[in-house]
Structure 1
Amino acid sequence: MTSPEIRRIAFLRTGGKQSSGYLIAPRLVLTAAHCVGGAGEVVQVRALRPGREGGLRASRSVEFRVIALSTGAGAHETDGFALLSTDRDDPFGLRALEPVRWGRLAGTDSLRAEAFGFPELADEQRGNLEHAVGKVIPCSGAVAGPEQPGWRLAFQVESGTPAVGVEAGALWRGASGAALLGEGHLLGVLTEWHPIVSGRLRALPVELLRDQKTFLQRMAEYGVAPVVFEPMWAGWQVLEPAYTPLPESWSAADLLLARHQVVEFAGREAELHRLMEWCLAPGRSKVSVMLMTGDGAVGKTRLARELCKRVAARGWLCGMLCPLAEDLSSLIEVDEDRLIVVDDADVQVGQLDVLLRRRSGHGRLRLLAIARHADQWWTTFHRRYDELIEERPLDVAPMDTATREAVYAHAHAAFLHKQREAGAAPEAADFGRVTSPEAPADLADPDFSSCLFILILALIDIRQTLEPAWSGASGPGGAGTRRQALYEQALDLEREDWIKHAELAGLTADPVLLDRVVAVASLAFAGGDTDGHMESEAARCLRMVPDLADATELTRRRYVRLFQERIHGQGALRPLRPIRLAEHLAEQVIRDFPETVAELLDLPRDAHGSPEDAARQALSTLQLLNAVVFGNGVARSCDEVLHDALHEALRLHAPKLVALVGKVLEDRDNSTGRSLATALEGAFAWLPDGRIAAQAADELEEACPDALLSMARVLHTRAVDYYSQEPHTAQARSKLGTAHRRLARVLADAGFRRSAHHHAWQAVKHHSALVRTDGSYEHLLDKAHALSSLSVRAYDIGHFSESLDAAREAVQIYEELLRSHPDRRHHVHLSFALCNLSQSLAHLGRWREALQNATDALDLVTADLPTESTGPPVPAAEIAEAEAFARRSLARRQPQGGQIAEAIASAAHACRLYGQLRETQNGRTWDGDFAQALVVLGRRYTDNREWDKSIETLSQALSIYRELEHEYQEAERTRHADALRDLAEAHLGKAREHGPDESSSLDAALHRAQEALAQHDLMAQEDKYARRESRARTMRVLAEAELCRGRAEQARDHARDALAILQYVPDRAWRGRVNEARLRCVYGDALAELGDAVTAAGEYQLARDLYQVLDAEEPDRVDLELRRVGLRSRSTAERDSGRF
């Protein structure tokens, strides 16, 4: 609460009682109803006025009358609000005060608050003002039943809390009706003077006035603005409100900032209308994301803040997300409608991701992402959250000439008013020279497409009018283009403030030195656990200022403190704002000292510093540098010095930076790591030197976490390009083949399966060529890895024969290498290859071979595993992963040999192993593998008719897939669809077994099968093609469920459509033909139900013929397949004359 607001505190006396109140308008006092009598009662009111020597004194009494009483709160209506007015016009001189801001408590965390009142015994029974500081505790006033008096706010006093007891409680008598304020908003009035808990007072929330129409109408009659109850919560440190007051000691740069709204918002009504409709229009989805783009300083942030202001007036929680916020849980969990603006979203993509992945609450959520361009970062983000994203981004165009003139006029008037008000103009200023401004003739020029430049021009024009001798652009950077001149003139005004306060602090006031200090502070970040540690780190950072390299630590600390006072913000090092000024200043300093960039990115500087702090430092540097070097969207900066400085810094430190990202992303919710990965991706994508990217790619694990996939794609793609252009020596070709293989893995994890298959094939081609000329151990091992990769990539896109051939050849090479090098690592490699071979064999119907290979794979990493390795040690996690993979593979194969109980045990063991790996993390997530193991276990429970266990296990897998799909999108969508289908089959089996009593299970089967089809509809086109058989199988399950429900027409349609799909799948394997036979049975059943017996008999005959062929290929398998889903055996079907 700022000091002028104390003038609102009122001292009331009536009928021998004293109490407190709050002046919500010059002639209106709000208090508690029990403090006064009925309507018309006279109350003597005094307020605080400036006194002698800067103190405060009470004014003379003014007669007020009670003009309105609100109805009480609760069943007994024990209390309410009272409104007092006077006939005198502004008796206490309050006209200059801003309108009251009304608040309501939101969230479940305590909110810092304060109360101002006049208790009788506060100070020797003189009735002096008491300022109590404490916190408001949410939910503590909840009503337990209809006999309770009505809900209250609980205000826990933490400043000078009196002792418990009646006498001590009497110290608060007279404070009733006092204003309770939090974050500058009026939350309520105190209603009970006695503490119900030690130091706790009760207050009546002003939100109760929401439904008091008569009361609110009387307030409006006396000039009170329409009341909006803004949600107030304890998380304001992570969400900055739309506008904040201008600091008392402001500088020129502060006047330019949108957050202070010194200049009235003008124009952009069409854009605002669209944004308001996006936020508030009924029928929209609960969660929605919109991208707003536009050139730098065109006015995007100003538009977003005005949107926050207007939406907050509708009761929403609105604000700008703090870029330094780490813990977003309070914002995620608060149960309110929320509008969250993420500025510079291209470098804060980690925060966007956390907000969406962990979203909760019942309220609506709108995320407005602001960036200059929709580059690769947005393409990646859009793929991940496509169902939540507004399809049409809002591109903010430059303002038209009329709006520019209006903005200039508003800015000129506002800046002049602030200069006069604060006496901030120079001594030579002549305010008499200032007349009503005429818009400059060149406002239509492209230079003034930026709102910031218009504001700077107004500020400069005022200064030049007040002081004609002032020319500006006298700073160290000089002036070049018109834009550069405007930047320099704005900085010149800011330098005056820096120089003035540096001299007052006894520091060297050289403008060149001060520029360099501010530039480094804008590029760096000082982390630490305490304020002292952060200041030490900030002082260490300032050693990168050439002029301060040899200065004492105390001197550097004094510069840190100077700019903490002069540049308002968060953190020990304060970046200059507006950001465009910081970018311009950084350009000048880096041009003079290009080595500074390499120093900034040489991380970590402190062996005891945390990886999180180092990542924030790198992010701060790259955020500014990417904008400076590549802000114009071209691959080569117009300034060679800046471009080469970044190039050299990445040449020296790129591998360390990539490793740093991997380290911090061991915590999957680390937003800094995700944002840094995006910033590095941008730098690597633009820099022409592929060698840097190729070297950095070596720091990545082959199994990248989701947050690194996009950056990994860029690095491995650049590595492939780089090695492709190198002379084809054996070493370069080997690296090229490895780069292709790694890129194939990354592309597959990102959902680009066809491209992944292409690069996997390229890897095999290059390594095979090397083996033909040099069959060394290294080349053979590389070829085996490439073949194993190709086997998986071919299977992903439905090339099963190719997958089988690649897997078999990989196994042959691994077996040869194991014989010549019998160490543990080759056991692991061969085990994985045998599992891949088993999968390909099983799909082609060769289940005996598949079972044997899966059994051998498990033996290799368990019974046959050497106790010691002759080669490099193999981490225990790799052995555990290989065993879990082999047991999962074996669990898939065992039912085909009738070993269902053994399959359940194998799958359960795999789940336990993956569960243990999930707890260790080791830099990657095992959620996908764990979910696959759960699906296999659920299927085995289905085989064994343990429906409840199957449903529980598959439901657990689905909960993981829902989370994974927000991270890996298409990469996990195919497995997600299969898990939904398997769950539908489990529900269907339960419904069939229990009959009509299990209608809920049948409903669940229908619902899950429909969800699975929806997942197929969302798949990428290449996945839709590769997963045609899976879709047909899902449609068969849906048809069976519809048939059980008695909806034969729907069952017929689904079965017919599924059969039509299978017609276009050539060379189907044994397993696929089994599905077709079952589909024809279901289709025949549906036709029979509809009375088409002839066609039904034809379908049964086709099914019988197909089963006979299948039985000849794999004896006894048909009976097993039929028993799995509860159908009759083939022999029974034949006895029933073709009716299954």
Structure 2
Amino acid sequence: MNSPDLRRVAFVRSARGTSSGYLVAPRLVLTAAHCVGEVGDGAEVQVLRPGARQGARQASPAVRFEVVALSGGVRETGVDGFALLRASSADPFELRTPRPVTWGRLTGTEPLAAEAYAFPRGATEARRQNLEHTLGHLIPGTGTVTGSARTGWYQVFQVSTGSFTENALWQGASGAAVFSRGRLLGLICEYDACEAGRLKVIPVQLLSEQEEFLRLLTEEDARSMVIEPVWKGQEVLEPPYVDLADSSSAADLLLPQHKLVGFCGREKDLRELTQWCTTDSAPHSVALRLVSGDHSVGKTRLARELCARMAGRGWVAGPLNPLAKATDITRLMGLDEDRLIVVDDADGRIGELDALLRHRGGEGKVRILATTRYESRWWPAFQHRYGELAKKEPYRLLCLDAAEREDIYTKAYRTFLRRRAEPEGKSDRGLPQPSVNLADPDFASCLFVLILAMSDAHSFLHPEWDAQHGTTGSLPLPESLYEQALALEREDWIDNAERACLPRDPVLLDRVVAVSSLAFAGGRTRGEQETQAAERLRMVPDLRDATEEYRRRLVRYFQERIDGYGALRALRPARLAQHLVANTVRDFPELLCEALDVDPTRQPEAWARQALTTLQMVSATAFGDDASGRPSDPVVRGALRVAVERHASALIRLVRAALETTDATTGRSLAAALETVFDRPGDWEGEFAATAAREVEEKEPDALLNLAIILRKKAVAFYETQKPLSRETQFRWATENRQLSRVLADAGHRHEAHDPALQAVRQFNALTRLDDSYAYLLGKAHSLSNAGVRQREIGRCSDSLESAREAVRIYETLLHGHPDRSHHRYLSIAQCNLSESLAQAGRSREALQVATDALDLITTGLPAEPPQPPLRPWEIPEAEALAWRTLARRQADAEKFDDALVSADRAKDLYQRLRDSRSGWWERDFARALAVLGRCHGDARHWNESIKFLSEAVDRYAELEHLYQEAERPYHTAALRNLALAHLNKAHALGRDSWKEELDEGVRWADRARRHHDAMAPEEHHAERAHNAWTMGIKAALELALDNSSGARDLAGKALDILEQDARDDTWKQRRDRIRLTRVHGAALRACGEADAATEQFHKADRLQKSLNDAEPGQQLNGLTIPPVPPADWQRNHADGHPA
């Protein structure tokens, strides 16, 4: 907590008694209105000064002040207004231009730590008024209700450092300023007579309506009053600008957060981004914008200046803290404030971007500004995931023009020279021209302009330094400029090393900083972090045998010299650190192997940050810059290639361990960083990629899908090139094809997944013809079962049924020879898949029997003895949940509604327990279980319960679409369609007098279902055409009930046209649905007065029904008479066609 300036705490004595106050300007005191008289009345003010002994304080002589502004009774109570007192002299207490007061306002919902310095009566000792430093919390919400006659409000400050025996002893504390995080939030105005230590505070934001106060404050402070939001957890955002420390080094002068060089240029960019922040038709809109540009072109400076200007408008604004936790992000996104959040170098912080968007909420606008050097590799996929939030194209930041470069150079040169010239006694007159022509393309980088200005200023003061470190030399200009900045920074390290009992060894210090920039030290406490940091420094070649105490001293030394986060301090700016690290890696290539030698089994979060930091630091040098065409460094690239090859498997295991929680931002970012690494062509392919692919499970959470696809494809390509092909290689190749098919389907690429699925089947067929050993037969069964699912997903019903039957046959054969739990699980899952294929083909009785067998196999028929190797704890419950869910759907098809409800509820409970045991792995299955339960309630005519569970499923699918894109869209569309149907059936149950609201809701959900269908990928759009027709049929029935007969007629006609296209290949179920839709069309025609056409449709429906009864004499079409709304059994006839 940044405490208030003690020199400004005021003791006020007036005709009304003694009170407290605060000097908001050298001759202005802010206090409570009831503590002083009217405007023009006088008061005596004293402040605190250092006492005769160290740590003591004494009062200054009293100075007469006069009341110049008063706002008594903003709540009409007489004790809650402000008063402003002014002295006649300019600086009566000789404060000598103190820092301007920063004002704040309390926001958020959690108590905020705060403090106040006051002079209460209870602190009086021997007739001497003493100071009371009070710590406590401001409690949001309490006291904030207003009314027509009470436009103001108060806040509650609950003292936690002890209170007086009587609350009346707080008299005299009125007018004391309450601070939190260095911001003045309000003034104490009265005490609560009932609660000990509870004081009332009037918030300073009420001053924003007091014109006279604002005028006087602006005159004395020379700047307008800006009131910034303050809340618990504010550290999640960095302030746009922070003051430069007195002991700053050369690198500190280059950092944009210190604003040592005033912002200049780029006003057009600022205007456009400000407009993007403020302009939006939606009051609570969320938007993401990417700012891209060459390295060091000024993206961070622009983003921080935008934050500063938006904070001046009252927004919560700032760069996201690099070590922000998921809980901090959740708190930030829940604020009821306008927010601007900057994510700098976003290509390495994708997990944090994802968490910000997933936890979006609260009132007010949310703008997320991400900066990156190039967006080609990760942005399209991320934009696709959050398309509606990231509609705008990246804002490309152009290079500085000649005038802007000159302006920045001149301002920077003068600033640097003033900071360095005072101790040297030199003047800044007669400034020389830049030592290098600023028109050089390299000076498109704002950082290089600043380095040149700093170097030239130093050369002006020390000509001998210029001769040694000038830009003339064999190095390219960028390298030369980086070396000059490092030389100045190194001087600071060397000059202060002796004081810390460290050697003045520039080589050692360089290597320590390089390793600190390359590594990360975790731990819950500062002690644990320092211990890990000292251990990480063993990577420094010079420190391998050094004592822990010596390494700890180095850790503490650079914590003092380098401003930043964590126990190990990376050099900043980041481009300077990358240059230093690259130099060190060239000398010690094995350093990257040590940095990526991670341990996935303990502290995965800390190790994930270590690996992510390493990859972020070396990727730009190893791979070059795609946008600017900068070449890669072959030595660094080779060192990274060796390191990744050696530790690829451990890195994949680490990612999986770090993703065990849903909000694992570091794990997501590391997965994206590894995608970038493995997706490189050329020397990033080979056996090590295939080996890494074995660490990927068949079923992975969304954050690992893209990485899994990349690794699986590289593994397939590797095995394909192996000549001659051994049976073992063929087996691995076939297995990788099957697993590639699965992960492609999970990511929504269902048609792409079909080919590797069939390829795997063909490969295993070839293997089993030569050798029908157990391993090959099991692989064939797995590939057939997978192929059946893939074929069903793209509408190939007969092929799917054939593959699923063959898979079950092989599993049954294998189970006879291996009657263990693993093979029970294999067969049960295969039977569930077969049941789905049978149901899609309209063979409901057989599908029900197979589903029942699947459940028996995984429950009552499960052997007690564990297999070798043992199954993982979740594998049997997962298979059981799938069996219950499949059985629920088949029981509903067979009109066994009570049994279906029990089965669906059991499936939901099992998936809920699985979700609790392993976060992020069964979200999709749980959503489908909710959808099945909702449909079963609809079948049982429990309309309210059906709407409840389907609504919850729709909410979950909306979030899942952000994670899995098109993969979940068909299921989401089906849930929307079924929800519309539930409202339709509920309206029919209520009757015409009460159904309008339900019908309108049904129309809303049906329209959303149609929009989701239109948004599907082209191949999905075609495969789902029959489901779209059923949605149109539901919408037609809704419109018919709403007396929009022409709209119902058109929709039903279009739906029938779609179904007629596939009439030859209709299953029994599809023919049944076409009959129902034909009757809806007939009813709509009849309502439009087209009697002949309506009669023709009803006759057509009768003919279709007779043909269907002849084909399936045992099946019944119940309730086909057409009331104003279709009957409830319409619900059972609009299954989504997907495994729920």
State TM-score, norm by structure 2. Answer: 0.93
Distance 1:993 1:176, change over 3 A: closer
1:624-643 equivalences under 5 Å are 624-633=617-626, 638-643=632-637
SS at match of 2:533: helix
Q: Which amino acid aligns with 2:982?
A: A
Distance 2:191 2:828 in 1: 76
Name the stretch that deviates more: 866-875 or 486-495: 866-875
Distance 1:887 1:178, change over 3 A: closer
1:262-341 equivalences under 5 Å are 262-284=260-282, 286-326=285-325, 327-328=327-328, 329-341=330-342
Q: Which amino acid aligns with 1:1031?
A: N
Distance 1:354 1:870 in 2: 40
Query: Is the 2:338–2:365 contact (alpha carbons within 8 Å) kept by the matching residues of 1?
Result: yes
Alignment deviations for residues 973-1018 of structure 1 (CA, whole Å, 9 cap, x no partner): 1111101111211221111122022333222222221221122122
Distance 1:2 1:771 in 2: 74
- Report the aligned-residue RMSD: 2.9
Question: Match of 1:961?
Answer: 957
Question: Match of 2:1133?
Answer: none
1:471 to 450, 466, 474: 466
1:1050 to 1047, 1051, 1056: 1047
Question: Match of 2:1077?
Answer: 1079
2:671 to 667, 672, 677: 677
- Residue 60 of structure 1 and its aligned partner are, at CA, apart by 5.1
Distance 2:51 2:449 in 1: 43
Question: Match of 1:935?
Answer: 931
Q: Does 1:759 align with 2:756?
A: yes
Q: Does 1:663 align with 2:657?
A: yes
Distance 1:264 1:886 in 2: 66
Question: Match of 1:480?
Answer: 475
Question: Match of 2:774?
Answer: 777
Alignment deviations for residues 905-947 of structure 1 (CA, whole Å, 9 cap, x no partner): 33233223223322322x7522222222232232222222222
Name the stretch that deviates more: 49-58 or 384-393: 49-58
Q: Which amino acid aligns with 1:713?
A: I
The unaligned stretches of length 5 or more in structure 2 are 1130-1140
SS at match of 2:556: helix
Alignment deviations for residues 78-137 of structure 1 (CA, whole Å, 9 cap, x no partner): 320112234444445556334332210111223233323455646654446554444333
Distance 1:737 1:296 in 2: 44
Q: Which amino acid aligns with 1:619?
A: L
Distance 1:103 1:1127, change over 3 A: closer
Question: Match of 2:25?
Answer: 25
Question: Match of 1:1133?
Answer: none
Query: Is the 1:122–1:130 contact (alpha carbons within 8 Å) kept by the matching residues of 2?
Result: no
Name the stretch that deviates more: 829-838 or 172-181: 172-181
Q: Does 1:101 align with 2:102?
A: yes
SS at match of 2:1117: helix
Question: Match of 2:722?
Answer: 726
Q: Which amino acid aligns with 2:977?
A: R
1:227 to 225, 228, 241: 225
Query: Is the 1:590–1:596 contact (alpha carbons within 8 Å) kept by the matching residues of 2?
Result: yes
1:1021-1060 equivalences under 5 Å are 1021-1060=1018-1057
Q: Which amino acid aligns with 1:139?
A: G
Distance 1:410 1:93 in 2: 31
- Residue 437 of structure 1 and its aligned partner are, at CA, apart by 5.3
Distance 2:425 2:175 in 1: 49
Alignment deviations for residues 327-375 of structure 1 (CA, whole Å, 9 cap, x no partner): 3232122221111111121221111112221222122211111221214
State TM-score, norm by structure 1. Answer: 0.93
SS at match of 1:82: strand
Distance 1:410 1:49, change over 3 A: farther
Distance 1:11 1:1080, change over 3 A: same
Distance 2:806 2:195 in 1: 78
Question: Match of 1:976?
Answer: 972
Question: Match of 1:215?
Answer: 213
- Residue 793 of structure 1 and its aligned partner are, at CA, apart by 1.1
- Residue 642 of structure 1 and its aligned partner are, at CA, apart by 1.0
1:840 to 827, 830, 837: 837
Distance 2:867 2:703 in 1: 36
Alignment deviations for residues 622-645 of structure 1 (CA, whole Å, 9 cap, x no partner): 221223312423999732221121
Query: Is the 2:984–2:1002 contact (alpha carbons within 8 Å) kept by the matching residues of 1?
Result: yes
1:234-273 equivalences under 5 Å are 234-273=232-271
Distance 1:682 1:919 in 2: 31
Q: Which amino acid aligns with 1:310?
A: R
1:616 to 601, 609, 614: 609
Q: Which amino acid aligns with 2:848?
A: L
Question: Match of 2:409?
Answer: 408
Q: Which amino acid aligns with 2:980?
A: A
Distance 1:222 1:826 in 2: 82
Distance 2:429 2:736 in 1: 67
Distance 1:890 1:118, change over 3 A: closer
Distance 2:483 2:1128 in 1: 87
Distance 1:882 1:920 in 2: 15
Query: Is the 1:472–1:492 contact (alpha carbons within 8 Å) kept by the matching residues of 2?
Result: no
- Residue 1091 of structure 1 and its aligned partner are, at CA, apart by 0.9
Distance 1:650 1:1095, change over 3 A: same
Distance 1:7 1:812, change over 3 A: same
Q: Which amino acid aligns with 1:35?
A: C
2:155 to 153, 156, 173: 153
Distance 1:4 1:835 in 2: 68
- Residue 830 of structure 1 and its aligned partner are, at CA, apart by 2.1
SS at match of 1:646: helix
- Residue 724 of structure 1 and its aligned partner are, at CA, apart by 1.9
Q: Does 1:112 align with 2:113?
A: yes
SS at match of 1:507: coil
Alignment deviations for residues 540-598 of structure 1 (CA, whole Å, 9 cap, x no partner): 11111111111111111110110111111221111111111111111111111111111
Q: Which amino acid aligns with 2:301?
A: R
1:391-790 equivalences under 5 Å are 391-420=392-421, 423=423, 429-432=424-427, 434-436=429-431, 438-439=433-434, 442-471=437-466, 480-604=475-599, 609-633=602-626, 638-686=632-680, 688-727=684-723, 728-790=725-787
Distance 1:900 1:21, change over 3 A: closer
Distance 1:89 1:1053, change over 3 A: same
1:373-384 equivalences under 5 Å are 373-384=374-385
Question: Match of 2:13?
Answer: 13
Query: Is the 1:473–1:492 contact (alpha carbons within 8 Å) kept by the matching residues of 2?
Result: no
SS at match of 2:614: helix
Identity, % of aligned positions: 49
Alignment deviations for residues 769-808 of structure 1 (CA, whole Å, 9 cap, x no partner): 2223333222222122112111111111222222122222
Distance 1:131 1:80 in 2: 23
SS at match of 1:867: coil
SS at match of 1:334: coil
1:46-57 equivalences under 5 Å are 46-47=46-47
SS at match of 1:76: coil
Question: Match of 2:143?
Answer: 141
Distance 1:235 1:130 in 2: 27
Query: Is the 2:34–2:72 contact (alpha carbons within 8 Å) kept by the matching residues of 1?
Result: no
Q: Does 1:883 align with 2:885?
A: no
Name the stretch that deviates more: 745-754 or 1064-1073: 1064-1073
What is the count of residue pairs matched by the alignment? Answer: 1116
1:1101-1140 equivalences under 5 Å are 1101-1120=1099-1118, 1122=1120
SS at match of 1:307: helix
- Residue 299 of structure 1 and its aligned partner are, at CA, apart by 0.9
- Residue 298 of structure 1 and its aligned partner are, at CA, apart by 1.1
Q: Which amino acid aligns with 1:468?
A: P
Name the stretch that deviates more: 89-98 or 585-594: 89-98
Distance 1:1063 1:794 in 2: 22
